[in-house]
Every structure is written in C-alpha cells, then in structure tokens.
Amino acid sequence: MSVRVAYSTTARSDYGPSYWLIHDLLADGRFDTRLLVGGSHLSPRHGMTVREIEQDGWPIAARLPFLEEGDDAESFGRSCGRALAAYTEKFVELQPDVAVVYGDRLELLPIVTAAVITRTPVAHLCGGDVTGGAFDEQVRHAVTKMAHLHFPSSERSAARILQMGEEPWRVHNVGDPALDHFVRGECASAGELAALLGFVPDRTTLLVTFHPVTLEAEDMPRQAAELAAALEQYAGPVVLTAPAPDPGSGPIRRELERLAAARPQTVFVESLGSRRYRGLLRLVGAMVGNSSSGLNEAPCVPLPAVNIGNRQRGRDRAANVVDVSPERSAIRHGIADALSAEFRASLARGSSPYGDGCTAPRVLDVLAASSSRQRLLGKQFCAPAGSEAAG
C-alpha cells in the first residue's frame, strides 16, 4: 500500500529548493502524494508563483489562499489563523500518513499545528539550523518539537535536533534538497536571461537578494537604504529580486523598486524561478544580500556571496561568504573583496556544507520505510547522554 503524503508549499523560498523532492514523490509508486499550494504562491503582489508550479506540470490537490496582504504583525497573525483553519480541514479530508514541510517560514506553525490536531505525523526538512537574526529560528525549533521525522541538512543541525531531546531513530541527516538542482537540474542560458533582463549578465553583474531581518524589523528602512546607497556607487549591472513576504518587507521592496527605476542597468524581478536563478548564479560576479542561498547554493558554483547583517547569524558557512555589517561602506568593501580575482581564485573548487545534491532519494527511502502512525505519533523526550536530564 502506498504512503499517503501531503506536501505543503507556501512560497518560492520553499518550492524552488524542493523541486526534485516533489518530482520524485509524485513519480514514485510507493507514494500517493497530494500537493497543497498556499500562501504567497497565490498572491498577485508576490508574483502569483503558483504559475511556476503549473508550468512544471505538477497536479495541485488544493489551493489554500490564506495570506492576507500586508507586511505588519496583525496581517501575519490573521494569515496564520486562516492557515490553521484551512489546513486542519484539508488534513481531515485527505487523511495523509505524513505531512511534509520544508524550512522555517512563519506559516509552518499553523500548518504543523493543524497536523498535530488531526494526528497527522509531520516530516520536517532543514530543521536544526541556526539563524540568530530572525524569528525564523524560533519557528524552526518549534516545528522540530512538533515534528515526528527530521531531515536536517548538516551534521551540526542533526546534532542540535538530538540536543533538543528528539529520539535518534527519527533524525536523518540527508542534506538540503536545494543542492539536488546542481546534480540533476538545468539552468537558464545567458541568452534567456538577457531576454528577461535587457542585458547579458556577466562577472561584473551583482545578484541582490535582501530579506527582512525579522528581529530587527524597525531597522529595515535604514538597512535597505544603506544597501541601496552602496549599490548606487557600484559601476556594473545589478539584478534585484523581491524580498520574502515577511514583516518588514515593505521598506525593502520600496527601496529596491526605487533603485531599479533610477539606476541604469538595474532590474527588479519579482521571482526569477529556480532555473533562471541558478543560471544567474553561474554567470554573475557575486551575490549580495542575506539569503540562505548564498550560504548553501552559491558554494556549489562556486560564487562569492556578500552576506549582510544578522539574518544568517550562526548558520554554517563555506569559504565563499564575506560577512559585512548593514552599512554602506562595509557593503561596498565587501563587494570589492568578493569580486577580486584573488578571492574568486580561492574558491576554485566549490563545495557546500549542506550536502552532495542527492537528498531527495534519501528522504523517499526513509518515508517509504517509516514506522506506523502510532509509533510516529508517540514521541518521547530522549535526553542527550551525559546531561542532567538523562538521569
């Protein structure tokens, strides 16, 4: 009998990295997979990225438009309430054997709460990471304690999950599924990207992705202005991508749109999609911003990444990362260092601390062999050896 899987995707930030995992779950006869699409995927303001899923040809089992437009705490709170109701109803209807979620977005809390309420086991991808500058950290660790199977992306992350009292048989270090693209995926050509951008991206081009630092939301207008001021003094082309739909995204979006309108050879793109994003990674001179892709995907190219501020504080890093403060002078110097011939030469052989690009098959094998629902749901606290709680 096939394993009934409910796979939830709510934003471009979890869909792109999960492409091959979704592909394999839908293609493998061991699984009856239902794809649940919600959140910013269904938002015109955020590019209606559900179209990317449709273009990829995946059957969408349900569309759950819970996201309320707005970037303040009240809007996100109402969105989470709507998500809890929608996913509870859907899990009751589908009766999945396991609900699969990826990452640390805020809406995972109501989705996983709905699974707990309906006694649906949860498999969580990429738990155990540390990102000290965002409340994603609390979301991620809360989901870990609510989940029943864990698929961390590194040894350190797996160790943190064990430190949180999870039973070892539940924890499987499989790597980040985003890296599977670099083994199995295609990427956009320079010609395709030039048609989109209006210029041919090359090693003088910067790819900028700057998301809200949610624990510093009140400082986002200043940080966005500092980033824009640094980019205004850069001589080459710049590709700007939209910030994630998190609290504090409004000031970033407005600053980047203003910069694109005023600066030559500067393009603001709502959503590149994973093919075009990977194509740019292979062509541009450096990434700039605070996206996790600078830490887990860019090392595979390898591509220098100027990481700004605290959003990724504590996350594992490869040698491609240049950490700078959110100040225009620091950002300018970081860009200069990243683009130097010496720095790029030091990255001649790329490798990521987040795996080898073979994550999806490992996840499927674990899910196919997973224990009964009753055993999965019966969680016990397992104190790390040597701790006082171990007795």
246: confidence class by pLDDT, cuts 50, 70, 90: confident
Residues 10 and 151 in one domain: yes
Whether 27 is covered by a domain: the verdict is yes
Instruction: Please tell me the total count of domains within the chain.
Output: 2
390: confidence class by pLDDT, cuts 50, 70, 90: low
Checking if the pLDDT of 391 tops 60, the result is: no
Residues 336 and 375 in one domain: no
Range of the domain at 27: 3-175+358-390
pLDDT of residue 110: 97
Residues 18 and 150 in one domain: yes
Per-residue pLDDT tens digits for 41-91: 999 988 899 999 999 999 999 999 999 887 788 888 999 999 999 999 999
Checking if the pLDDT of 107 tops 90, the result is: yes
388: confidence class by pLDDT, cuts 50, 70, 90: low
Per-residue pLDDT tens digits for 213-232: 988 989 999 999 999 999 99
Mean pLDDT of the chain: 94
At 8, give phi and psi (nearest 5°): -105, 130
Residues 30 and 62 in one domain: yes
Residues 209 and 337 in one domain: yes
Inter-residue contact 338 to 322 (CB < 8 Å): yes
Per-residue pLDDT tens digits for 272-326: 988 999 999 999 999 999 999 999 999 999 999 999 999 999 888 999 999 999 9
Residues 217 and 169 in one domain: no
Whether 209 is covered by a domain: the verdict is yes
Whether 350 is covered by a domain: the verdict is no
Residues 166 and 212 in one domain: no
Whether 53 is covered by a domain: the verdict is yes
CATH for 99? 3.40.50.2000
User: Minimal CA–CA distance to 212: which of 312, 107, 317, 328?
Assistant: 312
